Structures are given as C-alpha cells and as structure tokens.
C-alpha cells in the first residue's frame, strides 16, 4: 500500500465504518421532533474504537465532530459499562461546544466481551436547554445563565431509562415535549449504530475490524504528514478580530502563529485576547476543533476523516484566553469564535500558500433564536436558526452566495415548516446582492431574511462581522459587514449583533449577513 493510495480493502472498510455514522445520523434526523434536527440537520455522529479514538465520522458539522473526542475521553471514566448504557452530557468544559449541543455516548459490546469494543457518539443542538433567555443563546457572563449543565451521567442504564435524569432535564427546559422527542430519537440512533457494528464484526471478525481501524488512522496520519510537508518550512502569523463581546469589550483579537517543520505543524495562539465578559470564550476543544478542520481542508477529499489527521499537529493555547476558556465563563458564542479562528488560520497559511488559500468567508454563524408563548397552540415555543452568508473567493472560483461555511454545515428551516411550527412569519428571504467583495474572483453575497413576530416573544441575536467585513486575499476587496435591524411601531432601529430584545406582535427583525471577501485584484 503506497502512502498516497490506500489498498482497496482499506477503502472498503473506511466506507463501512463511515456508513455506520451516516446511518445513525439519518435515523436521528427522520425520527426527531424539532425542525432544528429534522429540517436543519443540526447534528453529528461518529464511531470510536474501544480506546476512545475517533475512527469515522459522517459529513456532518465540523465544529461538533472535531470536539467529540473530548466528550469521548471524559466519558471513559464512567466505566465499567454495560450493554444498553447511554451516557448524556453537555458541559462544554467536558464535551466541547456549548450547552445546547447535547452529546450522547454509548458503548458497543461484541462476542460476549466484558469491555466495549467500540463507542458510538452523537451530538445534536437542542433548540432550548433552559437558561435566562429562550433558545439558550442570549447574552450571558456565566455558564449558569446559559442553561442546564449536564455532567456525564447515564440516561439509559443497561437499556433502562433513568427516569430521574430525564425528569431533571425536562424540568429545566421551556419546551419539554419537543426536547424529549429529540433526545429519544438521538438515543435510538445509537441502537442503529450498535446493530451495524455488530453486523460488521459478525461478517469480518473483531480482530480484523480493529486492525482496519488502526490502519485507517495510520493512513490518514501519513496523508496529513504529506500535506504538511508540501507547505514551505517557516513560521507564518496572522491576527483577526471579533467585533465585540456584547458587554463593551471591542476588537477581540485571535492571534495565530503557524510553524511548519518538516511534516509537523505547530499552531500557537499566544497573543490572543484574554477572557472576555461575554460568551465568545472558546473552550480548548472548540479551538482545537477549528485547527483540525483547517488541517483537514489541506487533504484530498477522499482521505478518511479520523483521529490520524490530528497526530502531526501540536496546538498551544494560552491559559485563561478567549481561545482557552476557564469555567464558569459563558461559552454560547464560542461557535462565533471558532469561525474567526478558521479565518486567522487561513490568513496565516495564505502567507505560505498564497495561491491556494481562499479569502475570508462571511465569518459568522449568524445565530438567531425566538421564544415565548404560542397563544394559538397554548404552549411555549423555541426556534433556533443559523443563517448563511457569502463564501470567500478563491483562485479557482467566485465565492458561493448565501451559504453556510467552515465550522457549520447545516441546512435552513424551510419557510413553510417554520411558519407551520412557530408563531412567526417570513416577510423576505433573499440573496443580499452585491455584498461580496470585488476581485478577480468576487466574494459571494450574503443573505437577507426578515421575521415577523405574530405574538409577543423574545429574540436573541448572536453574530459577528458587523463592524469589519471579511477580508479579501491577493488584492481582493473585503466583503460588506452584516447588519441587524428591528422595525416596530416606534420605527426602525439597529440591533446589536449580541443582543436580546422583547418583541411585540407585529414587530419585524431583519438580518443581513456579511458577504465573502474577494480573491485577486479586480480586472479593469
């Protein structure tokens, strides 16, 4: 087997293991209750070996997948495990991202073994997990304000539901029926994963499966080392900035120093801003996830995604910084910081590979939540959405319009489903024409979306790139910054990108997302 081309049987096993994660995700999607899972597909699934090493992942959400290994490691200490156990957790300092992202980990036993042969892991964004604002994404200084914190505990013990754990969770959320529907679907996906892995072991044998898992990780490591070795040796630096933290701190710096030595990479974030009051603080797992996403982008598409790509990479994180949060700081906005970390890394690598790195994409997940009481249905509601923006231009193409980029990979909620599910009306959903930066290959345009509240409710915004637009590359121009507005009886006013507001029936929230940066100087 050559370094650049796996043996045929290894490719087959990569597809087999990946198919387990994909089928788990499909089951989760189809049997879930909320539009956020069923329509937007805000979830991820992966397969790990018995040592807690990521072996395969479905092509879901990079932010989820890259931080899953932290969750798996922190669950291993709960052993000994039994067949039918399902561990649940959402503590960001143990599992990665933020409180709405609820992770489940389940052991898989085969051939009567006393120790798990594999683990299946899933993560889904719950549209509400409690806290001070509906949707659990409002302005906060402490993790406690953002929602219910779930340490690693058994939701199912040997296949039996732990009713006390279920009761505690549902007593702390605004929409318990919908939450339990999603959680049941998530747990059921693990039964699918267990069944498929059992089938593979029955067909090929446990030792063969373990051997191929190790070979796949080794192969991905070799391919990653080859990709790194193609980068000119040296040290490359870049600093990018977040607008603000919602509590007065502005120009929050993400500084990165990328050092290439042979086939190894060191990524050092020394010089990044210290911890901020707001929720932009990223856990170590989130920052590391963004690093590994960028490294993964250097590899050919067909290279299997697994732990092997992380082996040649060292990540250095300054203590108590915006890229290495300390409990109990709020972290809901860490998903915004992850986007800026990617921008900074692409900027640094652009110094080494100027013709290969794209301009900055819109740089925000453009999070928005609405929540309150649906008087027509007689129950609480909580709606969460991320909105796409412009993609960055590159040497080979213009940036895509109105797309999700980098650390997010969700769909949108179709207008028909949104209006059927929530007391909201969509007045406009369009491409924000002309918002991409000019260049030889222009940046993509952002999105314009308008929501009208049909009942009094709370809206929370969590976005960025509202002050400085995404940068262009190789002489291309920056994309236009985004902006957010509220139109009500008192007229129109601007909204902060990290703000919670009480709406009256009839009020309209308008979001215009950033355009992508252009690549190359525009032709005359």
Among residues 201, 67, 161, the alpha carbon closest in space to that of 123 is found at 67
pLDDT of residue 65: 80
**Helix, coil or strand: residue 312:** coil
Task: Report how far Cα 505 is from the mean position of its chain's Cα atoms.
Answer: 32
Distance between CA 22 and CA 342 in Å, rounded? Answer: 25
Beta bridge partners of 316: 268
DSSP string, 87-130: EEE--HHHHSS-TTEEEEEEEE--TT-SS-SEEEEEEEE-S---
- Listed by start position, the domains of the chain span 8-219, 358-524
pTM summary value = 0.96
- The pLDDT score that the predictor gives to residue 340 is 98
Q: Which residues pair with 268 in a beta bridge?
A: 257, 316
Average pLDDT on 422-434 reads 98
Neighbouring CB atoms inside 10 A of 413's CB total 24
- Max distance between CA atoms of the chain, in angstroms, equals 71
Please check the confidence at residue 91 and state whether its pLDDT lies above 70.
Answer: yes
Percentage of the chain lying above the pLDDT 70 cut: 99
Residue 6's pLDDT is 61
What is the model's pLDDT at position 368? 98
pLDDT score of 1? 44
The predicted structure's pLDDT at residue 67:
87
pLDDT digits (tens, 9 = 90+) for 133-176: 999 999 999 999 999 999 999 999 999 999 999 999 999 999 99
Query: For residues 307 and 314, what is the distance between their CA atoms, to the nearest angstrom?
Result: 13
């Amino acid at each position: 087997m050559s370094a650049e081309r796996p043996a045929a049987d290894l490719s087959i096993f990569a597809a087999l293991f990946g198919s387990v994660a994909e089928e788990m995700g499909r089951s989760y999607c189809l049997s879930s209750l909320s539009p956020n899972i069923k329509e937007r597909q805000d979830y991820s699934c992966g397969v790990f070996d018995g040592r807690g090493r990521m072996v395969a992942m479905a092509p879901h959400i990079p932010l989820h997948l890259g931080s899953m290994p932290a969750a798996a490691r922190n669950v291993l200490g709960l052993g000994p495990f039994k067949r039918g156990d399902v561990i649940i957790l959402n503590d960001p300092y143990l599992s990665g991202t933020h409180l709405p992202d609820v992770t489940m980990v389940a052991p898989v036993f085969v051939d009567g073994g006393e120790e798990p042969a594999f683990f299946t892991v899933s993560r889904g964004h719950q549209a509400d997990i409690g806290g001070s604002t509906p949707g659990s994404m409002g302005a906060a200084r402490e993790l406690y304000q953002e929602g219910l914190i779930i340490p690693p505990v058994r939701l199912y013990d040997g296949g039996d539901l732990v009713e006390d754990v279920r009761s505690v969770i549902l007593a702390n959320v605004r929409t318990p029926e919908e939450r339990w529907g999603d959680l049941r679907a998530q747990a059921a996906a693990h039964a699918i994963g267990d069944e498929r892995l059992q089938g593979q072991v029955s067909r090929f044998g446990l030792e063969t499966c373990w051997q191929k898992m190790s070979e796949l990780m080794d192969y991905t490591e070799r391919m990653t080392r080859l990709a790194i070795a193609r980068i000119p040796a040296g040290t490359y630096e870049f600093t990018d900035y977040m607008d603000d933290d919602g509590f007065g701190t502005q120009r929050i710096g993400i500084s990165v120093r990328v050092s290439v030595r042979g086939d190894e990479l060191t990524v050092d974030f020394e010089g990044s801003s210290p911890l901020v009051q707001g929720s932009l603080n990223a856990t170590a797992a989130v920052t590391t996830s963004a690093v590994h996403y960028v490294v993964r982008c250097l590899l050919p598409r067909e290279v299997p995604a697994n732990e092997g790509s992380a082996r040649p990479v060292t990540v250095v994180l300054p203590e108590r910084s915006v890229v290495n949060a300390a409990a109990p700081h709020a972290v809901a906005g860490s998903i915004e910081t992850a986007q800026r970390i990617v921008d900074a890394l692409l900027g640094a690598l652009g110094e080494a590979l100027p013709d290969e790195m794209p301009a900055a994409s819109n740089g925000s997940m453009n999070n928005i939540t609405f929540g309150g009481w649906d008087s027509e249905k007689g129950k609480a509601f909580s709606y969460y959405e991320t909105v796409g923006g412009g993609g960055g231009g590159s040497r080979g193409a213009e940036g895509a319009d109105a797309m999700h980029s980098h650390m997010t990979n969700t769909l949108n909620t179709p207008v028909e489903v949104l209006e059927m599910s929530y007391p909201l009306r969509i007045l406009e959903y369009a491409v924000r024409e002309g918002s991409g930066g000019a260049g030889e290959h222009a940046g993509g345009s952002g999105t314009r979306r308008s929501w009208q509240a049909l009942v009094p409710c709370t809206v929370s915004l969590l976005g960025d790139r509202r002050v400085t637009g995404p940068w262009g590359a190789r002489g291309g121009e920056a994309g236009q910054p985004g902006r957010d507005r509220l139109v009500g009886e008192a007229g129109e006013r601007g909204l902060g990108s990290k703000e919670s507001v009480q709406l009256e029936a009839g009020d309209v929230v308008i979001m215009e997302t950033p355009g992508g940066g252009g690549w190359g100087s525009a032709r005359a």
